[in-house]
A and B are shown apart, each in its own frame.
Chain A
């Protein structure tokens, strides 16, 4: 989803309006890294000595006597603990386990001695190679780290082996390492025993990596490192941060996007026991209290007059009507083909218009951040997803350098894209509150669920208009496709990487690059301007493009009286990875055999984030509503680093995508969001969760994404099943709105 970003395009803030020139690598945090050695290889920088690191490693650092192997990615301490520094955010996708696996395998560590820890924010050491900044998204965590973390493990192993060879006076090649135990003949030692001597060994720049047949952990299903702590209440999130003297803040934001505070009467709010301050920032009115509940209660008592002069007053009905008109006019060409001429010659033209709603991410943990400004330095405790952006935005607000912003990245209670904002929204809100109050105490800003659902940063509204011309046999002659909607990245630092010739790639991905052998395909885009902030939402453009492509292809197959699987396979002849997942899902689902009485099947296949997923949905219609009983998925995401985690991500992705197509919608009336909590913004609950079977295609290709690719196919697979059962094509999402059954 992302490419290298332009850091000179950081958002500006009304209060500071500072240009930020953090284009190049950020200097190292002086306090965190006092010695750096030997930086080489494909981004591998190894050999730094960390004197004190934030959060989890405080205890080790406090002694200032760390005497083991110590690199930016791996630490081995005399107590035989292997700490893996995780450069990515773990929002549930399991990357802490995944990256630890890569290190543990090459190091030949025992799984029980491995402890993950989030790395500091430091773009020089911890950038995502897919972005050029430190950050997580686009299902890139494993793919961009695969070689880097394996090399880090292999380097540490080499240091341990050399230390053992020296101690025992034996040849290095006589030494074996298995499950954290180092042996040679009668000699035996643990990593911990050798940690001090290994630390003196120069870090190899280009250690030898294992061949796949030598893997001990990679490719196996082994347990997550975070399961236990997440079932005992021990796992802490930003919401749980308690610091001495900390204040808790809530922020009253304008009801309309673009509104600003005109005046505020805070008398009643200030009278609430526990409230210590009320301040106005460029973004709203903040209430600060000694604990959470008074901050929430007192905010309800603020009497604020808003200035909506610059606010977007449109409702979503008006917006959709505008989009539909635009869809009838030429847009910017995203893919050129002579569709009109082909359509003119067609025996039959299928025409369809689709409407997709705004969607909130609604992670279980509402947005939050703890920030402190003291002695010219800012410190954040938050589930940072784009650390480099969060660092730079915070620095701009305080007028300090990015390297003077320390980020303690914490576990995220979900994200689905929400925490990866191009303007660091809730982090910037917190920093601004800290700045305006001038307080030295840490301040924790908490969002309520209503703040989250009403807060924007949605998957944008999109309208698609498609015309497909067929010959008398049902073969496709031409395909004309227009997409209308907001650009997610326009005006952000991601624009230069992702917008080409006026086309935001995230608006058309999945259509303009379709693998189907479609002749005379023409794709156009209208990028609209709306006050509602858009954002990537788990699988980004594929959330709508896969739905349109896969339901249209299904409709074309049906028009020609062809089997949906056979029809797709014929158009995918040059795409073996698509066809293999499609065939596998069809076979495992029993495609072609009778479905259970009253059950209808639908299929979809889609590539996203370089992974390939096909899904077959079995749907029963109960009282006029679809009940999805079973989803069979087949996945090719390259080499399966952890098969069980892949299954887990696809199971979850199916539920996430299904909830959205069944119920998900954020609507606006006169510019005001109509939903507020889970009673009005409905998400999937357990009673609607189908049985999900996930089958993985064995592959030796480099690993690709899995956090997102399970999401796109489920909506169209279910829609195609509904069509198979009723003949009705659902083109207005969600189904709660667009599916009308008797």
Chain B
């Protein structure tokens, strides 16, 4: 039994302690916006926020999140998340879209820490998120666009 908070709601799940958070969230809690892409923290499609920090949920044992706050793509909100999503839509970043939940979660985490990132900052923060459609150029542009929006 593990109890944690997800998107502001307290939940208790009855799974093996070593079950990755990703599968708990997807299969037990039915929130399927976070994706499975690699299972070994190589692609970032499963990115969630744990107490506000981005983590790869596919390698995070559920026991590690006991008593902590997990935020998924379904629950991320606020001015940074809004600015990121608006920029993604405005610039039509997505293609297949499968990686984009993770991209958005990583971008929100970056902008929360660094409100005016350089291209190099973006490359460093986002290089753990693979996009096989290679939408990277628009991801870079959209993060700058969101930063501009947030600056007001």
Contacts and interface: CB of A to CB of B under 8 A. Distances in A.
Contacts of B96: 90-92, 363-365, 411-415
B130 A678 contact: yes
B113 to A, nearest CB: 17
B127 A232 contact: no
Q: Which of A227, A411, A683 has the most CB of B within 10 A?
A: A227
Interface string A632-651: 00000000000011001101
A686 B97 contact: no
Contacts of A184: none
A713 interface: no
A248 B23 CA distance: 12
Interface of B is mostly: loop
Interface string B1-41: 00000000000000110011001001110111111111110
B133 A92 contact: yes
B51 interface: no
Contacts of B122: 686
A686 to B, nearest CB: 4
Interface string A351-378: 0000000000011111000000000000
Interface stretch (A235-243, A429-437, A454-462, A715-723): A235-243
A654 interface: yes
A416 interface: yes
A230 B134 contact: no
Q: Which of A240, A292, A416, A689 has the most CB of B within 10 A?
A: A689
Interface string B89-110: 1001111111111001000000
B85 interface: yes
A653 B20 CA distance: 34
B148 interface: no
A652 interface: yes
Nearest to A414: B96
A233 B81 CA distance: 13
B95 A93 contact: yes
B37 A449 contact: yes
A514 interface: no
Interface string A92-129: 11100000000000000000000000000000000000
B135 A232 contact: no
B123 interface: yes
Q: Which of A223, A363, A414, A446 has the most CB of B within 10 A?
A: A414
A229 B95 CA distance: 12
A677 interface: yes
B134 A652 contact: yes
Given A239-B32, A677-B38, A691 B16 contact: no
Interface string B26-68: 1110111111111110110100000000000000000000000
Q: Which of A226, A237, A296, A678 has the most CB of B within 10 A?
A: A678
A239 B27 contact: no
A647 to B, nearest CB: 9
A117 B84 CA distance: 27
Contacts of A227: 88-89, 92-94
Given A228-B89, A292-B23, A652 B98 contact: no
A549 B66 CA distance: 59
Q: Which of A291, A412, A679, A685 has the most CB of B within 10 A?
A: A685
A730 B97 CA distance: 34
B80 interface: no
B23 A677 contact: no
B33 A233 contact: yes
Contacts of B92: 223-224, 227, 644-645, 648
Contacts of A405: none
A677 B42 contact: yes
B70 interface: no
A654 B135 CA distance: 10
A174 interface: no
A230 B27 contact: no
B27 A416 contact: no
B97 A656 contact: no
B126 to A, nearest CB: 5
B35 A239 contact: yes
A91 B95 CA distance: 8
A254 interface: no
B111 interface: no
Interface of B: 15-16, 19-20, 23, 26-28, 30-40, 42-43, 45, 72-74, 84-85, 88-89, 92-101, 104, 122-124, 126-127, 129-140
Interface of A: 90-94, 223-224, 226-237, 239-240, 242, 248, 273, 291-293, 296, 362-366, 411-416, 446, 448-449, 644-645, 648-649, 651-656, 659, 677-679, 683-687, 689, 691-692
Task: List 10 A-B pairs, minimum CB-CB distance, nearest first.
Answer: A233-B33, A655-B134, A413-B98, A92-B96, A230-B97, A92-B95, A233-B73, A689-B136, A678-B42, A240-B32
29 contacts: A224-B92, A227-B93, A230-B94, A231-B104, A232-B33, A232-B73, A232-B74, A232-B85, A233-B33, A233-B101, A237-B35, A291-B28, A293-B15, A362-B132, A363-B132, A364-B37, A364-B45, A413-B35, A413-B96, A648-B135, A652-B134, A652-B135, A659-B134, A677-B40, A686-B129, A686-B136, A689-B137, A691-B137, A692-B137
